[in-house]
Structure 1
Amino acid sequence: MHLSILTASQIVFNGTVQSVGLPGTVAPFQILAGHGPMVSSLMRGNITYAKEGNLYSFSIQHGFVSIARDQVKVVCAPVESTH
């Protein structure tokens, strides 16, 4: 499935993944290939995704996700660095 993670200033990730974990506002959830269409708000937490056997993570403040036909699109605000 295809994952796009976008912020106001950059494309964080755009590519093929095996799974995506998201911090939903009601509860965390995972997306796998063939997932039904949905839209959800996201709260502070980590977006995780598996690509070629490796697990990656990106911290967010909040955002939204849209899922349709194996296309996962996340628009979010990243957690700002404290340094």
Structure 2
Amino acid sequence: MYLEIVTPSAKVFEGEVSVVTFPGTDGSFQVMNDHAPMVSTLTAGKLVYKNKQGTQSTHITGGVMEVLRNKIVVLADGLTETVQN
């Protein structure tokens, strides 16, 4: 599936991923391939995604996300850091 992470100032990441873990306002949740369409608000916390390069994490300050037809778009309010594991 395809993931885009965008802030008001820049596109932070775009590419193929296998799983994404989000800091939802009601608790963390994961999205995998062929997930049902959804929209959710995000709180400050760690957004983790796995791709061919390994596991990467980005600390966001909040935002919203949308899943539709194996494409995930994250509109983050801002970032505090990005870590490659």
TM norm. shorter chain > 0.5:
yes
Matched with 2:69 is 69
Matched with 1:4 is 4
Q: Secondary structure at the match of 2:21?
A: strand
Please say if 1:27 is aligned against 2:22: no
User: Match for 2:75: what amino acid?
Assistant: V
The CA deviation at 1:77 is: 1.8
The ranges of structure 1 where at least 4 consecutive aligned residues each deviate by more than 6 angstroms after the TM superposition are none
Query: How many aligned positions are there?
Result: 81
Q: C-alpha distance in 2, partners of 1:6/1:26?
A: 22
Q: C-alpha distance in 2, partners of 1:53/1:15?
A: 11
Structure number with the higher strand fraction is 2
51-60 or 37-46: bigger deviation: 51-60
- Structure 2's unaligned 5+ residue stretches are none
The CA deviation at 1:27 is: 1.0
46-55 or 23-32: bigger deviation: 46-55
Q: C-alpha distance in 1, partners of 2:18/2:68?
A: 15
Q: Give the CA RMSD over aligned residues.
A: 1.3
Q: C-alpha distance in 2, partners of 1:17/1:54?
A: 10
CA contact (8 A) 2:8 2:78 kept: no
User: Match for 1:9: what amino acid?
Assistant: S
Q: Identity, % of aligned pairs? A: 35
